[in-house]
Protein backbone atom coordinates (compact mmCIF):
# COMPACT_ATOMS: atom_id res chain seq x y z
CA UNK A 1 0.00 0.00 0.00
CA UNK A 2 2.95 2.38 0.42
CA UNK A 3 3.58 2.22 -3.33
CA UNK A 4 -0.12 2.78 -4.03
CA UNK A 5 -0.17 5.89 -1.83
CA UNK A 6 3.00 7.21 -3.44
CA UNK A 7 1.53 6.78 -6.92
CA UNK A 8 -1.67 8.51 -5.83
CA UNK A 9 0.25 11.48 -4.44
CA UNK A 10 1.83 12.16 -7.84
CA UNK A 11 -1.48 11.89 -9.68
CA UNK A 12 -1.07 8.38 -11.08
CA UNK A 13 -4.51 7.40 -9.79
CA UNK A 14 -5.23 4.43 -12.07
CA UNK A 15 -1.92 2.79 -11.21
CA UNK A 16 -2.47 3.55 -7.51
CA UNK A 17 -5.85 1.80 -7.49
CA UNK A 18 -4.42 -1.18 -9.35
CA UNK A 19 -1.65 -1.42 -6.76
CA UNK A 20 -4.23 -1.24 -3.95
CA UNK A 21 -6.21 -4.11 -5.52
CA UNK A 22 -3.04 -6.18 -5.70
CA UNK A 23 -2.25 -5.40 -2.06
CA UNK A 24 -5.68 -6.67 -1.03
CA UNK A 25 -4.90 -10.04 -2.59
CA UNK A 26 -1.99 -10.48 -0.14
CA UNK A 27 -4.13 -9.96 2.98
CA UNK A 28 -4.29 -13.07 5.16
CA UNK A 29 -5.91 -12.12 8.47
CA UNK A 30 -8.45 -9.61 9.90
CA UNK A 31 -6.05 -7.08 11.43
CA UNK A 32 -4.09 -6.93 8.18
CA UNK A 33 -7.39 -6.26 6.41
CA UNK A 34 -8.17 -3.41 8.77
CA UNK A 35 -4.75 -1.89 8.06
CA UNK A 36 -5.45 -2.17 4.33
CA UNK A 37 -8.72 -0.25 4.73
CA UNK A 38 -6.94 2.41 6.82
CA UNK A 39 -4.25 2.79 4.17
CA UNK A 40 -6.85 3.15 1.40
CA UNK A 41 -8.67 5.75 3.51
CA UNK A 42 -5.46 7.76 3.85
CA UNK A 43 -4.85 7.46 0.12
CA UNK A 44 -8.34 8.50 -0.98
CA UNK A 45 -8.97 11.05 1.76
CA UNK A 46 -11.98 9.62 3.59
CA UNK A 47 -13.40 6.41 5.01
CA UNK A 48 -16.44 6.73 2.76
CA UNK A 49 -14.30 6.89 -0.37
CA UNK A 50 -12.30 3.90 0.80
CA UNK A 51 -15.53 1.98 1.33
CA UNK A 52 -16.90 2.87 -2.09
CA UNK A 53 -13.67 1.69 -3.71
CA UNK A 54 -13.56 -1.55 -1.71
CA UNK A 55 -17.25 -2.31 -2.27
CA UNK A 56 -16.50 -3.27 -5.86
CA UNK A 57 -13.64 -5.63 -4.96
CA UNK A 58 -13.63 -9.34 -4.15
CA UNK A 59 -12.94 -10.09 -0.45
CA UNK A 60 -9.88 -12.17 0.40
CA UNK A 61 -10.58 -15.90 0.82
CA UNK A 62 -11.93 -16.79 4.30
CA UNK A 63 -12.17 -13.10 5.24
CA UNK A 64 -15.60 -12.36 3.79
CA UNK A 65 -17.17 -11.49 7.17
CA UNK A 66 -14.21 -9.32 8.18
CA UNK A 67 -14.31 -7.55 4.82
CA UNK A 68 -18.04 -6.89 5.20
CA UNK A 69 -17.46 -5.47 8.69
CA UNK A 70 -14.77 -3.09 7.47
CA UNK A 71 -17.00 -1.97 4.60
CA UNK A 72 -19.76 -1.07 7.05
CA UNK A 73 -17.31 0.73 9.34
CA UNK A 74 -16.14 2.78 6.36
CA UNK A 75 -19.58 3.68 5.00
CA UNK A 76 -21.84 3.29 8.03
CA UNK A 77 -22.41 7.02 8.48
CA UNK A 78 -24.28 7.29 5.16
CA UNK A 79 -27.78 8.42 6.30
CA UNK A 80 -29.40 6.94 3.20
CA UNK A 81 -28.18 3.41 3.87
CA UNK A 82 -28.81 2.98 7.60
CA UNK A 83 -31.50 0.30 7.25
CA UNK A 84 -29.42 -1.59 4.71
CA UNK A 85 -26.33 -1.53 6.91
CA UNK A 86 -28.30 -2.65 9.95
CA UNK A 87 -29.59 -5.66 8.04
CA UNK A 88 -26.05 -6.46 6.93
CA UNK A 89 -24.80 -6.17 10.51
CA UNK A 90 -27.52 -8.49 11.78
CA UNK A 91 -26.49 -10.98 9.11
CA UNK A 92 -22.92 -10.83 10.46
CA UNK A 93 -23.96 -11.78 13.99
CA UNK A 94 -21.85 -14.71 15.19
CA UNK A 95 -19.45 -14.63 12.22
CA UNK A 96 -16.72 -12.42 13.72
CA UNK A 97 -14.17 -13.75 16.19
CA UNK A 98 -11.46 -11.12 16.65
CA UNK A 99 -11.95 -8.85 19.68
CA UNK A 100 -11.32 -5.64 17.73
CA UNK A 101 -13.90 -6.70 15.14
CA UNK A 102 -16.49 -7.39 17.82
CA UNK A 103 -15.87 -3.95 19.31
CA UNK A 104 -16.34 -2.40 15.86
CA UNK A 105 -19.43 -4.54 15.33
CA UNK A 106 -21.28 -3.51 18.48
CA UNK A 107 -20.17 0.12 18.16
CA UNK A 108 -21.48 0.38 14.61
CA UNK A 109 -24.63 -1.61 15.30
CA UNK A 110 -25.46 0.46 18.39
CA UNK A 111 -24.95 3.73 16.51
CA UNK A 112 -27.25 2.70 13.68
CA UNK A 113 -29.90 1.29 16.03
CA UNK A 114 -29.86 4.59 17.91
CA UNK A 115 -30.10 6.64 14.72
CA UNK A 116 -33.05 4.56 13.52
CA UNK A 117 -34.90 4.88 16.84
CA UNK A 118 -34.33 1.32 18.08
CA UNK A 119 -33.25 2.49 21.53
CA UNK A 120 -33.67 -0.76 23.44
CA UNK A 121 -31.66 -2.61 20.79
CA UNK A 122 -28.98 0.10 20.85
CA UNK A 123 -28.75 -0.24 24.62
CA UNK A 124 -28.19 -3.99 24.25
CA UNK A 125 -25.49 -3.43 21.63
CA UNK A 126 -23.59 -0.96 23.79
CA UNK A 127 -23.84 -3.26 26.81
CA UNK A 128 -22.47 -6.10 24.69
CA UNK A 129 -19.69 -3.86 23.40
CA UNK A 130 -18.60 -3.14 26.97
CA UNK A 131 -18.00 -6.87 27.45
CA UNK A 132 -15.21 -6.58 24.89
CA UNK A 133 -14.03 -3.07 25.76
CA UNK A 134 -14.64 -2.33 29.47
CA UNK A 135 -14.30 1.35 30.27
CA UNK A 136 -14.81 2.37 26.64
CA UNK A 137 -15.64 6.08 26.54
CA UNK A 138 -18.11 5.98 23.64
CA UNK A 139 -19.94 2.85 24.74
CA UNK A 140 -20.41 4.21 28.26
CA UNK A 141 -21.44 7.72 27.25
CA UNK A 142 -23.90 6.50 24.61
CA UNK A 143 -25.35 3.94 27.01
CA UNK A 144 -25.88 6.59 29.69
CA UNK A 145 -27.52 8.97 27.21
CA UNK A 146 -29.89 6.36 25.79
CA UNK A 147 -30.96 5.08 29.19
CA UNK A 148 -31.62 8.53 30.59
CA UNK A 149 -33.08 10.34 27.57
CA UNK A 150 -34.97 7.59 25.77
CA UNK A 151 -35.58 4.72 28.18
CA UNK A 152 -36.29 6.68 31.37
CA UNK A 153 -33.75 4.63 33.34
CA UNK A 154 -32.01 7.50 35.10
CA UNK A 155 -30.44 5.48 37.90
CA UNK A 156 -29.28 2.88 35.39
CA UNK A 157 -27.63 5.65 33.40
CA UNK A 158 -25.43 6.79 36.28
CA UNK A 159 -22.82 3.95 36.31
CA UNK A 160 -21.93 4.24 32.59
CA UNK A 161 -21.98 8.05 32.80
CA UNK A 162 -19.54 7.88 35.71
CA UNK A 163 -17.34 5.43 33.84
CA UNK A 164 -17.21 7.77 30.84
CA UNK A 165 -16.29 10.71 33.09
CA UNK A 166 -13.55 8.63 34.68
CA UNK A 167 -12.15 7.91 31.22
CA UNK A 168 -12.32 11.59 30.19
CA UNK A 169 -12.33 13.73 33.37
CA UNK A 170 -11.76 17.00 31.48
CA UNK A 171 -14.17 16.42 28.60
CA UNK A 172 -16.93 19.03 28.81
CA UNK A 173 -19.47 16.98 26.82
CA UNK A 174 -18.93 13.86 28.93
CA UNK A 175 -19.24 15.81 32.18
CA UNK A 176 -22.37 17.49 30.82
CA UNK A 177 -23.93 14.08 30.18
CA UNK A 178 -23.05 12.96 33.72
CA UNK A 179 -24.51 16.12 35.22
CA UNK A 180 -27.71 15.85 33.21
CA UNK A 181 -28.11 12.20 34.19
CA UNK A 182 -27.76 13.18 37.85
CA UNK A 183 -30.37 15.90 37.30
CA UNK A 184 -32.82 13.45 35.74
CA UNK A 185 -32.26 11.12 38.71
CA UNK A 186 -33.06 13.97 41.13
CA UNK A 187 -29.53 14.18 42.53
CA UNK A 188 -29.14 17.95 42.36
CA UNK A 189 -25.92 18.45 44.32
CA UNK A 190 -24.06 15.94 42.17
CA UNK A 191 -25.65 17.40 39.05
CA UNK A 192 -24.48 20.89 39.99
CA UNK A 193 -20.96 19.70 40.73
CA UNK A 194 -20.61 17.83 37.43
CA UNK A 195 -22.12 20.61 35.33
CA UNK A 196 -19.96 23.28 36.93
CA UNK A 197 -16.91 21.15 36.14
CA UNK A 198 -18.19 20.76 32.57
CA UNK A 199 -18.54 24.52 32.25
CA UNK A 200 -14.98 24.97 33.50
CA UNK A 201 -13.64 22.75 30.71
CA UNK A 202 -15.92 24.06 27.94
CA UNK A 203 -14.22 26.05 25.21
CA UNK A 204 -16.81 26.81 22.50
CA UNK A 205 -20.51 27.72 22.19
CA UNK A 206 -21.46 24.19 21.17
CA UNK A 207 -20.28 23.07 24.61
CA UNK A 208 -21.21 26.10 26.72
CA UNK A 209 -24.83 26.44 25.59
CA UNK A 210 -26.20 23.02 26.66
CA UNK A 211 -24.12 23.06 29.85
CA UNK A 212 -25.47 26.46 30.90
CA UNK A 213 -29.02 25.44 30.00
CA UNK A 214 -28.65 22.32 32.14
CA UNK A 215 -27.13 24.29 35.01
CA UNK A 216 -30.01 26.72 34.79
CA UNK A 217 -32.41 23.80 35.15
CA UNK A 218 -30.53 22.62 38.24
CA UNK A 219 -30.66 26.01 39.95
CA UNK A 220 -34.31 26.41 39.04
CA UNK A 221 -35.07 23.03 40.62
CA UNK A 222 -33.13 24.09 43.73
CA UNK A 223 -35.19 27.29 44.00
CA UNK A 224 -32.41 29.70 43.00
CA UNK A 225 -34.27 31.49 40.22
CA UNK A 226 -31.86 34.48 39.95
CA UNK A 227 -28.90 32.21 39.26
CA UNK A 228 -31.01 30.12 36.90
CA UNK A 229 -31.86 33.31 34.97
CA UNK A 230 -28.22 34.37 34.78
CA UNK A 231 -27.25 31.03 33.29
CA UNK A 232 -30.16 31.15 30.86
CA UNK A 233 -29.11 34.63 29.74
CA UNK A 234 -25.52 33.49 29.26
CA UNK A 235 -26.66 30.58 27.08
CA UNK A 236 -28.98 32.91 25.13
CA UNK A 237 -26.17 35.42 24.50
CA UNK A 238 -23.84 32.67 23.33
CA UNK A 239 -26.52 31.45 20.94
CA UNK A 240 -26.91 34.98 19.56
CA UNK A 241 -23.20 34.92 18.76
CA UNK A 242 -23.47 31.50 17.10
CA UNK A 243 -26.61 31.63 14.91
CA UNK A 244 -25.65 28.38 13.21
CA UNK A 245 -26.69 26.58 16.40
CA UNK A 246 -30.22 28.04 16.44
CA UNK A 247 -31.80 24.92 14.99
CA UNK A 248 -30.18 22.83 17.70
CA UNK A 249 -30.90 24.86 20.82
CA UNK A 250 -33.45 27.64 20.21
CA UNK A 251 -36.52 25.51 20.97
CA UNK A 252 -35.11 24.16 24.23
CA UNK A 253 -33.92 27.61 25.24
CA UNK A 254 -37.39 29.03 24.68
CA UNK A 255 -38.91 26.23 26.75
CA UNK A 256 -36.47 27.04 29.56
CA UNK A 257 -37.40 30.72 29.40
CA UNK A 258 -41.09 29.86 29.77
CA UNK A 259 -40.40 27.77 32.86
CA UNK A 260 -38.33 30.56 34.35
CA UNK A 261 -41.22 32.99 33.73
CA UNK A 262 -43.68 30.60 35.37
CA UNK A 263 -41.47 30.37 38.44
CA UNK A 264 -41.88 34.09 39.24
The tens place of each residue's pLDDT in the chain, 264 residues long, gives 788 888 888 888 999 999 999 999 999 999 999 999 999 999 999 999 999 999 999 999 899 999 999 999 999 889 999 999 999 999 999 999 999 999 999 999 999 999 999 999 999 999 999 999 999 999 999 999 999 999 999 999 999 999 999 999 999 999 999 999 999 999 999 999 999 999 999 999 999 999 999 999 999 999 999 999 999 999 999 998 888 888 888 899 999 999 999 887
Instruction: Tell me phi and psi for residue 203, to 5 degrees.
Output: -140, -5
Report whether 167 contacts 137 (CB < 8 A): yes
Task: From 167, 160, 259, select the one nearest 213 (Cα to Cα).
Answer: 259
pTM of this prediction?
0.87
* Number of neighbours of residue 178 by Cβ within 10 angstroms: 29
- Half-sphere exposure (CA, 13 Å, Cβ side) for 33? 26
Report whether 125 contacts 106 (CB < 8 A): yes
**Separation between Cα atoms, residue 93 and residue 102, nearest integer Å:** 9
Task: From 124, 120, 128, 116, select the one nearest 84 (Cα to Cα).
Answer: 116
Instruction: Tell me phi and psi for residue 183, to 5 degrees.
Output: -60, -50
Question: Helices H, strands E: what count in the chain?
Answer: 15, 0
* Model pLDDT, residue 10: 86
Report whether 164 contacts 141 (CB < 8 A): yes
* Model pLDDT, residue 248: 85
* Model pLDDT, residue 231: 96
* Model pLDDT, residue 75: 93
Amino acid sequence: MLRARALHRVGRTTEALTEARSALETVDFPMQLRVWFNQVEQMLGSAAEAGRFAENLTPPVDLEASFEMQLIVSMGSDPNRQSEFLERLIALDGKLTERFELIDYYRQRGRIEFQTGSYREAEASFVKGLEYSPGDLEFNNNLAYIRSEYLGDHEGAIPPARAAATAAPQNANILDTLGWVYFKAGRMSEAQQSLQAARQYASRPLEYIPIEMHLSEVFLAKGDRPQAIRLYQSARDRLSDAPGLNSVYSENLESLRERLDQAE
